[in-house]
């Protein structure tokens, strides 16, 4: 219940530039943790006030700014600074970037609540929501070694079979030598472990049970 009240409070802060708080807009996918709550609240407020594209542009600007300005990134992550001081600086900085009031209000709320160190995570969660909004399905394929271009094309063609009409694949390839061979696929809410390490573990457990 406390989490719900904090979520409503954040919604009110995000919508402070609107004339009234209207029914919340449900996010297209669930994003977890504190960063997920901030991202979902901002997405809902931006959608309701028809400023989603503008806020999306804001978030990309902030991500680029943090990547370029290491001092600002250090400032954002510093937990020893007073919340009031961080709010004042972050509000001034973001307004100079020409960001919408919705985005600035969210950043200020994060500063007041001591959540600015999670800003990068909020940015990432918001992009997850935006990809889902655009019909892009996140897919992560983990293999023991990098796949060649032909195999990658064949894999992408096969994975597209999981998509619904109007959806597109947003694929991320990762390499993890510890899986030994095979692959691990996470697409949307589906997860398939076809790795050699997983098979070895299964066989080992079966042998232990048989002894």
Placement of tokens 């020409």 in the chain? 98
Residues 167, 135 contacting (CB under 8 angstroms)? yes
Residue 15 in this model has a pLDDT that exceeds 80: no
Which residues, other chains included, contact 20 with Cβ-Cβ below 8 Å and sequence gap of 6+? none
Q: Is the pLDDT of residue 3 over 50?
A: no
Per-chain mean pLDDT for the chain: 83
Write down the pLDDT at residue 111. Answer: 95
The three-state secondary structure class of 97 is coil
- pLDDT for residue 93 is more than 50: yes
Beta strands in the chain (DSSP E): 136-143, 168-175, 182-187, 190-195
The H or E element containing residue 67 is helix 52-68
Cα separation, 61 vs 100, in Å, equals: 11
Domains of the chain: residue spans and CATH:
2-132 (no CATH), 135-210 (3.40.30)
pTM exceeding the 0.85 threshold for the entire prediction? no
Q: Which residue has the tokens 């406390």?
A: 2
What pLDDT score was predicted for residue 116? 95
CA angle, 29 then 33 then 34, to 5°? 115
pLDDT band (50, 70, 90) for residue 50:
very high
* DSSP letter (8 states) at residue 177: G
């Amino acid at each position: 219940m406390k989490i719900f009240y904090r979520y409503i409070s954040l919604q009110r802060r995000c919508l402070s530039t609107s004339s009234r708080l209207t029914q919340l807009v449900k996010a297209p996918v669930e994003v977890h943790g504190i960063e997920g709550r901030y991202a979902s609240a901002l997405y809902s407020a931006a959608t309701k006030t028809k400023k989603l594209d503008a806020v999306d542009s804001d978030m990309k600007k902030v991500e680029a700014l943090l990547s370029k300005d290491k001092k600002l990134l250090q400032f954002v992550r510093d937990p020893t600074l007073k919340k009031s001081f961080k709010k004042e600086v972050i509000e001034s900085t973001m307004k100079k970037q020409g960001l919408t009031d919705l985005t600035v209000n969210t950043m200020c709320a994060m500063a007041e609540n001591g959540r600015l160190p999670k800003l990068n995570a909020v940015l990432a969660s918001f992009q997850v929501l935006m990809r889902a909004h655009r019909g892009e399905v996140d897919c992560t394929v983990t293999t023991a070694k990098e796949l060649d271009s032909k195999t990658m094309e064949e894999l992408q063609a096969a994975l597209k079979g999981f998509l619904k009409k109007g959806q597109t694949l947003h694929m991320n390839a990762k390499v993890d030598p510890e899986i030994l061979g095979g692959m691990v696929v996470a697409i949307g809410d589906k997860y398939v472990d076809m790795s050699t390490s997983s098979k070895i573990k299964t066989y080992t457990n079966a042998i232990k049970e048989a002894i």
